[in-house]
Structure 1
Amino acid sequence: MADDGFDFRPGAQVPLSGAAGQTVATHALASAAYRDGDVDEILKADSEWHKSVVKPGMWSLFKPSLGEAFARTVQVRMLGGGRKPLIQSFGIEPQSVVEHCLAASRIRKERDSWLTAVMVLCGVLFLPGLLVWLLVFTIRRQVAKNENKRAGALATAVLVAMGVLAALALLKLPFDGFWAWYLRAAIVLPVVGWFWAKQIAERTARDMRERWASLLSGGGIGAKIPEAVPGSPGETAAERLRQSLARLSAEQQSNSVFYAGPKGILGMGTRWGSWQLAEELVPAEDGKEIHPFRSWDVIRAVHDQLRMLERGPLHTGGFPTPSINHWIVSPIGENAKAVARPTGTDVDAFQIRGHEIQRICNEQQFGSGDRHYLGVQFTLWDGQLVITMLITVTVLHETLRIEVTGHALGPVNSLFTTKPEPKTKTVSKPIKFWETVDRQLPLVDADEVVRLAVRAPFTWYPPLLDHLGGKLVLPEPFGLRHAWADKPWRHRFMADDALRAATPVLRVVHQAAIKVLAENGVNTEKFGARSGFLSGAIQDPMPRKADVYDA
């Protein structure tokens, strides 16, 4: 592939997309790497068109938490060797999210190294007792899944009965000698190991929650990934990781996007509005011909005028500086599971070259092939709202058509913006029993300690752990942002921003295009009348599913 020849130069990788301060959406997604809780919670955050899947494993005791599954799956999908192409994540820095996934995995590896030592010293060396205790916890977990008070009482009774039997075994056994003491140790040491593991897990859980809260509070705690910084030419693993991060940043800047039917342009959101100006090209004066011009001439004039959008006659807040790009849109199937980025001599580091963009703009307007769109993009609400207006110009026979479409990508799901809450339990006061107080609970409960300790020895080979406990499967084609984006129309101010942006952009596009037509000897009377009509029609405040054709 041409993209594989990208020159990954050493040194710091400077983010190229997004302005300063667009960090809310980035930090919200990055915080998922540090979260605890059930992995199934992430299924509630899926967008309308993109659904994740949690594949079950062989034993529920090995099931990953939300943070463990998210961090591993995202870093493998975005950095793994031979990975499929990614969809751009507008409004966020995907490299920052992946770096936090790597940092969270590093913290967990350090914890799991300690837990592995505990398991070997207090568990594997006393395997019979460990297996019995694991059996008890497994039974308790299965019974406790029932939302039934009797089931909960039965689970507690199982543990109590096991404790009584253990006490009897410690006091008197039918035989003496080495095996008697070994049996006693096999009963006691797994419990000692559990207490030791609890301290390790609790310390790590506090660290994880501090990072989670810091990201959502705007503190922006940095992701430490020393394994991505080669210390010498021989550190091939670190060099490969650094190159993968650089490749991820380069792909994020690609000017190639994909249109997937009713799903819209992947990464930009569905098309909520479309306005078309199509009139006949008639000479301005009888007996004279129109001066030859091409679609690119109109697009270039529109591009120049769109750069003036942030300027206005009044001193108001107005538009922020927009991002204006030429996009090449490739059609794919509605249910396609992968995309293929353009390759060849016309592509340089995922960027389609300027001469090829001009050729597509002028020549590929009908029939198969990619299409050219000029896009003006506003990233608002600290990255939570991405408004994209796309403009395309086509000339077929004597008809010139200027089409403006609106796309809006809403905020990331609220699951990612929830801060950690302390675990508490409401209990009655011992004397004033009619009053209650919230008692602070440990962050890691008994079942979680067992789960972490059992998983720890297998973390050296993650594929085996995926087989035993299950894993998270991301929706394809995958992009960090659009996979978990909500619709902006539920947020009144976000919806207003999307609707308000359409009118001035449409008017600038029409004014620039009509000026080019007039300069080339075209009668612009019909174009002006049609433009005025569209200028009034665009003020209809109702967004629609313009990509869903009811035919």
Structure 2
Amino acid sequence: MAGFDDGRQQGAAVDFSPGAQVPLSAGSGQSAATQALASGAYRDGPVSDLLKANGEASVKPPKLSLFEPNLGEAFSRAVQVRMLGGGRAPLIQSFGTDPQVIADHCLAASRFRKARDARLTAVMGLLGLLFLPGVLLWLGGFQLRRWLAGAQNKRAGAFGVLALAALAAVVLLVAVTLPVGGFLAIYLRVMLVAPVVGWFLAKRICERYAKELRECWMGLLSGGGVGARIPETVPQDPNDADAERLRKALTQLAAEQNSNLVFYAGPKGILGMGTRWGSWQLAEELTPSPDAEEINPFRSWDVIRAIQDQLRMLERGPLHTGGFPKPSIRHWIVAPVSEGAKAVSRPEGQEVEAYQVKDFEIQRICNEQQFGSGNRHYLGVQFVLWDGQLVLTLLISVTVLHHTLRIEVTGHALGPVHPLFTTKPAPKAKQVSKTVKFWETKSVPLPLVDTKEVVRLAARAPLTWFPPVLDFLGGKLTLPEPFGLRHTWADKPWRHRFMADDALRAATPVLRVVHTAALKVLEDNGVATEKFGARSQFLSGAVQAHVPTKADEYNA
């Protein structure tokens, strides 16, 4: 992994823990989404399926389609370079998943393929270099077939079949009627037959590893807790710089995942948390209560702390029912970026340590940075539901402008992983007509790896040791920016009835807890709460009939 670099950039000076830690699965409540995304590293099929899952991703077209990657190869390569590469841009947090586990599986899948490619390279070296003219002739025929039939077309078409048939006829004719004799005649005949022998050996190698990759794919989606085996992250000796760089890159990834800074991108919502589907504001004038001559001085932070203390009691209730799971309650700093921004930057300085904005800076932003440019403070309540397939986040902000106190609660929802990543491997088969009852059909199993796939893998194998060359010849997947594993491949939650119900149900109790805690602080500091109480009652009724809206899109 010489291409990786720990590059001290944008808060990279974190306290790296020793050793390579490879968990078997994601944390509690996040396994389904994590394993679904991790399964992308082991998949076969065309890479164009990823473009259907996210239209902002793109694939660089190959110079020669014989060298193009499949879905799993492109996904693994793109994720490794983007998340672990040297000098990489900052990442968006993947709420509801463990991105380190996904990166581990991408490394493990690449390790599988490297072991396969090493054997294929040996076959190509033994039968390819010695009989290079014959190998080039056969590869040229398969490339011609792909040009005529289309690289991803399962049927070659009439022209493709004719091209291969003509090539086979020429090979047979030349082998039988060679005008030369002696050693040269023997070499020319073997040169034309050796690639076929090499294909047979390569096919057995490819089928073995394809079966193992599919077993990993199935194991992840079946909840088997398949662990990623990446021994290359464990230094073999004190001078193993590559393993140390990779270990630091993985630890840096985990540190960035725990950052408390998120980015708001206009109609795209908060990156990683999803779009804002609801918003409720309580804004009234601060006036002294009849029993107090003046208001005791207090700040926004005092209200936020009181709300935070009460939100910790959300999982408790008067009845013995299921109720809320334990939420994650955390202070967030939200930085604005443009809707079309292709990159984000994380702040540096004394206020930031290991991608975390320090407590004193959070308190300062909460109290002082409420109007005009700059970052904003929110208190977040986050529920990770459906094994990570649904992430609900309710953000609370408190602002004081002149005599007006404003308490705002906004709801954000991140939907399930795209169905592409939740489909299990299916046996390869085709439907054919029965011999006697020709009006009926039957399923005939197909080889796990067909002929053109064996040729593609064998042709790519020697070049896998030179990834930039392979990217140039075969093309590569470009991930959408700003990149985060979870929100890039998320679907809309409102198409799932129960997920939509969970999002709507969470808003009401959270809103009531926020208002109750805020009113208690106001009463303790001599503020008249009649208007606040009336407004709170109105919002409490309105939130019960709320439906999801595009709250980040304003009709000008």
Quick check: TM above 0.5? yes
Alpha carbons of structure 1 residues 329 and 150: separation in structure 2 relative to 1, 3 Å: closer
C-alpha separation in 2, matches of 1:526 and 1:150: 72
C-alpha separation in 1, matches of 2:48 and 2:154: 24
Aligned to 2:49: 41
Query: Does residue 183 of structure 1 match 2:188?
Result: yes
Please tell me whether the aligned partners of residues 18 and 91 of structure 1 are also in contact (alpha carbons under 8 angstroms). no
Aligned to 1:539: 544
Unpaired runs of 5+ residues, structure 2, are 1-8
Query: Does residue 367 of structure 1 match 2:372?
Result: yes
Q: Which amino acid aligns with 2:508?
A: T
**Which range moves more in the overlay, 172-181 or 185-194?**
172-181
The number of residue pairs the alignment matches comes to 547
How far residue 434 of structure 1 moved from its aligned partner, in angstroms, is 5.3
Query: Does residue 168 of structure 1 match 2:190?
Result: no
Aligned to 2:64: 59
Aligned to 2:522: 517
How far residue 257 of structure 1 moved from its aligned partner, in angstroms, is 0.3
Query: Does residue 402 of structure 1 match 2:410?
Result: no
C-alpha separation in 2, matches of 1:14 and 1:519: 50
Aligned to 1:420: 425
Query: Does residue 454 of structure 1 match 2:468?
Result: no
C-alpha separation in 2, matches of 1:148 and 1:518: 72
Alpha carbons of structure 1 residues 405 and 82: separation in structure 2 relative to 1, 3 Å: same
Unpaired runs of 5+ residues, structure 1, are none
Q: After superposition, where does 1:31-430 map in structure 2 within 5 Å? A: 31-46=39-54, 51-145=56-150, 152-285=157-290, 288-430=293-435
Please tell me whether the aligned partners of residues 65 and 146 of structure 2 are also in contact (alpha carbons under 8 angstroms). no
**Which range moves more in the overlay, 60-69 or 168-177?**
168-177
Q: Which amino acid aligns with 2:87?
A: G
Please tell me whether the aligned partners of residues 2 and 349 of structure 1 are also in contact (alpha carbons under 8 angstroms). no
Aligned to 1:22: 30
Alpha carbons of structure 1 residues 527 and 3: separation in structure 2 relative to 1, 3 Å: same
Please tell me whether the aligned partners of residues 18 and 379 of structure 1 are also in contact (alpha carbons under 8 angstroms). no
Alpha carbons of structure 1 residues 294 and 455: separation in structure 2 relative to 1, 3 Å: same
Query: Does residue 3 of structure 1 match 2:8?
Result: no
Deviations 1:516-537 (A, max 9, x none): 0000000000000000111111
Q: Which amino acid aligns with 1:136?
A: G
Deviations 1:223-274 (A, max 9, x none): 0000001122111110111111011001100000000111110000000001
SS at match of 2:295: coil
Please tell me whether the aligned partners of residues 37 and 421 of structure 2 are also in contact (alpha carbons under 8 angstroms). yes
How far residue 134 of structure 1 moved from its aligned partner, in angstroms, is 1.3
C-alpha separation in 2, matches of 1:367 and 1:179: 83
C-alpha separation in 2, matches of 1:117 and 1:147: 27
Please tell me whether the aligned partners of residues 55 and 472 of structure 1 are also in contact (alpha carbons under 8 angstroms). yes
> TM-score, length-normalised on structure 2?
0.95
How far residue 291 of structure 1 moved from its aligned partner, in angstroms, is 0.3
How far residue 178 of structure 1 moved from its aligned partner, in angstroms, is 2.2
CA root-mean-square deviation? 1.8
Alpha carbons of structure 1 residues 550 and 150: separation in structure 2 relative to 1, 3 Å: closer
How far residue 437 of structure 1 moved from its aligned partner, in angstroms, is 2.8
Please tell me whether the aligned partners of residues 261 and 333 of structure 2 are also in contact (alpha carbons under 8 angstroms). yes
Alpha carbons of structure 1 residues 147 and 219: separation in structure 2 relative to 1, 3 Å: closer
How far residue 9 of structure 1 moved from its aligned partner, in angstroms, is 2.2
Q: Which amino acid aligns with 2:251?
A: A
Q: After superposition, where does 1:477-488 map in structure 2 within 5 Å? A: 477-488=482-493
Please tell me whether the aligned partners of residues 428 and 436 of structure 1 are also in contact (alpha carbons under 8 angstroms). yes
Q: Which amino acid aligns with 2:146?
A: R
Alpha carbons of structure 1 residues 302 and 548: separation in structure 2 relative to 1, 3 Å: same
Please tell me whether the aligned partners of residues 434 and 441 of structure 2 are also in contact (alpha carbons under 8 angstroms). yes
Q: Which amino acid aligns with 1:393?
A: V
C-alpha separation in 1, matches of 2:331 and 2:338: 23
How far residue 177 of structure 1 moved from its aligned partner, in angstroms, is 2.1
Which of structure 1's runs of 4+ aligned residues deviate more than 3 A? Answer: 11-15, 146-151, 428-436
Q: Which amino acid aligns with 1:367?
A: G
Please tell me whether the aligned partners of residues 13 and 246 of structure 1 are also in contact (alpha carbons under 8 angstroms). no
SS at match of 1:241: helix
> TM-score, length-normalised on structure 1?
0.96
**Which range moves more in the overlay, 249-258 or 178-187?**
178-187
Q: Which amino acid aligns with 1:11?
A: G
SS at match of 1:392: strand
Please tell me whether the aligned partners of residues 146 and 156 of structure 2 are also in contact (alpha carbons under 8 angstroms). no
**Which range moves more in the overlay, 506-515 or 145-154?**
145-154
How far residue 51 of structure 1 moved from its aligned partner, in angstroms, is 1.1
Q: Which amino acid aligns with 2:336?
A: P
Please tell me whether the aligned partners of residues 268 and 388 of structure 1 are also in contact (alpha carbons under 8 angstroms). yes
How far residue 346 of structure 1 moved from its aligned partner, in angstroms, is 1.3
C-alpha separation in 1, matches of 2:538 and 2:29: 38
Deviations 1:386-405 (A, max 9, x none): 00000000001100000000
C-alpha separation in 2, matches of 1:110 and 1:515: 65
How far residue 435 of structure 1 moved from its aligned partner, in angstroms, is 4.8
C-alpha separation in 2, matches of 1:312 and 1:288: 38
Alpha carbons of structure 1 residues 191 and 120: separation in structure 2 relative to 1, 3 Å: same
How far residue 347 of structure 1 moved from its aligned partner, in angstroms, is 1.1
SS at match of 2:545: coil
How far residue 164 of structure 1 moved from its aligned partner, in angstroms, is 2.0
Please tell me whether the aligned partners of residues 29 and 384 of structure 2 are also in contact (alpha carbons under 8 angstroms). no
C-alpha separation in 2, matches of 1:455 and 1:2: 36
C-alpha separation in 2, matches of 1:287 and 1:298: 19
